[in-house]
Structure 1
Amino acid sequence: MRFSLDPEIIDFAASIDSLLAKSDMPSVIRAWSAGDTGPGTTVWGRVAETGAAALLIDEDAGGAGATAVEAVVALEVMGRYAVPGPVTESVMVAPRIAAALNATAPDTAGELAGGAFASVAVPGVSPFAPDAHVAAHLWIADDDKVFTGEAGEARRSVDRARTVTTPTRGDQVGAASTVDLVNHGALGTAAQLMGLGRAMLDMSVDYATQRSQYGKVIGQYQALKHQLAEVAIALEMARPLLWAGALAVAENPDDPAAAVRDVSAARVAVADAAYLSARTALQIHGAIGYTLEHDLGLLLTKTRALQTAWGTQSYHRGRVLDSLESAR
């Protein structure tokens, strides 16, 4: 089967890419790391104006009524630029909660479509709510129930532009499939990691064609070419799994269990590929790549932080194994 994106989706991704390319994202991320979230929220507002925040919001609630495929496309671009904030939670997870709360809180979906940040924690899988200090909504999802959350002490992640907190559970406000929310969170995280992996690969290739050692451009060394080729192969081999996960979610809106295998397989493959890209990029750049002054460091730390967001690698491998065994 051949999978190809509609031209409209490609143009949509290009519009987000163009917006972020003009936004001086390294400066935005560094400001967020220093506690100034103003530039970041301004950028997020512009992203929301493209319709990215409203992709999974129903049309009758002011959204686009799109599928996980379009959301993955948008999130990969945002991952490429390491957009700060609870991006996956706002684009992928919160709309599913908003749909479940439509009867009791009908304005929530509209707020999300307009660019309001939301943060979500799922005890046992993703217990830390990211960037709750900028979130208009903070929820805890557990055992197919949704509760309000009250942020606890904020702690810095390995990514300096990311804080996490263990929220305190409040009142139950609705019911939503926890499996569905985890699927959406894991898929969105995989999309961000794919963008990060590609960005680090491109940065490594550019650096390898500029840096000279012993009178020779390092990109001419065969060993280094092999390393970069392995990263490119890993990312491209993971991409079909990412699309399979998006399609599984899109085609099984009322049966999230049917999408578990494909979503978790995508999450594992993309996270492994992104981590390989990060390791290779650091080897090629040397120690300077991990300094606060170099832009690569912003991507490295975000990749590391997202490795355990919405489930660890072991958790998702377990879900794949359980799915295969139950099918057999």
Structure 2
Amino acid sequence: MRFALSPEQRDFADSLRKMSDAAGTPGIIRDWGEGDHHGGRGLIRQLAGAGALGLAIDEAHDGMGAETIDSVVAFTEFGRAAVPGPLVETAAAIPALLQALPDSKLAGRWLGSFAEGAALGTVALSPDQPAVDADTAEVILLVDGDRLYTAHRTASIRSVDRARRLFPVSPDELVAEGDSVREAAAAAFDAGALATAAVLLGAGRALLDTSVAYVKQRHQFGKPIGQYQAIKHHLANALIGLEMAQPLLFNAALTSTSRDISAAKIACAEAAYRTARIALQVHGAIGYTAEYDLSLWLTKVTALQSAWGTTDFHRSRVAAALRDPDAA
């Protein structure tokens, strides 16, 4: 099997990248972390205008009804630009949750506004799980066992990534209940894990590109540090990790099995985290400073590494699937 994007998918990725670059995401990320969402919401509306937020939403709910691989392409670019906001929840997890429920009216209630970028949503799949960016989301959902509620946020929780704001939520209106809610929550978790894996891969790519550019222009002992073999080996190891993770991500998008999604999340999280460590090493002390843009991607990778399931959790899912292939 050959995992390669079509020319149309590559053009779509390029258009999203140009959009994010033109918006100046580092400034938007810092503003978002301070509670100023104006620039971020503007960028999100532009991305929605390009169809990026409606890919996983059926055409019946004003979405694109696209293939999962198209969503992976979009989320990879979101990660490359470190676009702030609950995009995983709005464009992946909540659409999977609502469209898996038998009552199609629930999906029609919110998904059209998500696809247009007119509203954002966030979700907690258990009462003890915080919701991301609940302070800017118009729709907050909470799953408690076999019940689905709308919810409201309470006091915030400090995150290592200041632009990833976390809030415990409490239930309001009961909107669905029954075994279908449990099944829909499982689908939402897989959609969120796959989207997060793509974001991590994109963030890892950005960290590697930034590091390669830096070692070409920083000089030590009269020549660029990128000419030293030790630096080359570090960056080559980062590239290999990212390149090896990408086929697992594409395969998970094609199969949509829990086992393959977990394998992709493990590979993308480990590759991105390894790249983040190497990026910090080659940049030296400047990489630690909050004023330097590299820190925005470092903290995002650190936060997302354990989001939507830790590595240990996903390893256990892969192991269980290997022991019982029919359960995968």
Which band: TM-score by shorter chain? over 0.9
> Number of residues paired by the alignment?
318
> 3-state SS of the aligned residue for 2:113?
helix
2:36 maps to which residue?
A: 36
Cα distance in 2 between the residues matched to 1:240 and 1:25: 28
Output the CA distance in 1 between the equivalents of 2:38 and 2:186. Answer: 34
The Cα of 1:321 is off from its aligned counterpart by 0.8
In structure 2, what is the Cα distance between the partners aligned to 1:211 and 1:307? 29
Other-structure match for 2:219: 212
Which of residues 264, 268, 271 is equivalent to 2:269?
271
Give how far 1:104 is off.
Answer: 4.3
Q: Give yes or no for the alignment of 1:121 onto 2:124.
A: yes
Output one character per residue of 1:132-181: Cα deviation in whole Å (capped at 9) or x when no partner.
Answer: 01111111234354222221211231111111012113343123522211
SS in 2 for 1:123: coil
Counterpart AA for 1:158: V
After TM superposition, the structure 1 = structure 2 runs for residues 283-302 of structure 1, keeping only pairs within 5 Å, are 283-302=281-300
Alpha-carbon shift at residue 103 of structure 1 (Å): 2.4
1:254 corresponds to which residue?
none
Aligned-pair identity (%): 45
**Could you tell me which of 274, 280, 283 is aligned with 1:282?**
280
Query: Is 1:87 aligned to 2:87, yes or no?
Result: yes
Relative distance call for 1:141 and 1:227 in structure 2 (3 A) is: same
> In structure 2, what is the equivalent of residue 319 of structure 1?
317
Does structure 1 residue 261 correspond to structure 2 residue 259? yes
Normalised by the length of structure 1, the TM-score is: 0.93
1:56-205 pair list within 5 angstroms:
56-99=56-99, 100=101, 101-104=103-106, 106-115=108-117, 116-123=119-126, 127-174=129-176, 175=181, 176-205=183-212
Q: Aligned equivalents of 2:261 and 2:285: distance in 1?
A: 35
Q: Name the CA distance, whole Å, in 2 between partners of 1:292 and 1:272.
A: 23
Q: So what's the TM-score if we normalise by structure 2?
A: 0.93
**Structure 1 counterpart of 2:142, which letter?**
I
**Unmatched tracts of structure 2, length 5 or more:** none
Pick the aligned partner of 2:303 from 302, 305, 308. Answer: 305
Name the CA distance, whole Å, in 2 between partners of 1:158 and 1:235.
23
Please state how far the C-alpha of 1:53 moved relative to its aligned partner: 0.8
Residue correspondence of structure 1 range 3-42 to structure 2 within 5 A: 3-42=3-42
Shift of 1:290: 2.1
Q: Which moved more, 1:188-197 or 1:206-215?
A: 206-215
- Structure 1 stretches of 5 or more lacking a match? 250-258
Moved over 3 A (4+): 142-145
Which residue is equivalent to 2:46?
46
1:230 pairs with one of 229, 237, 254: 237
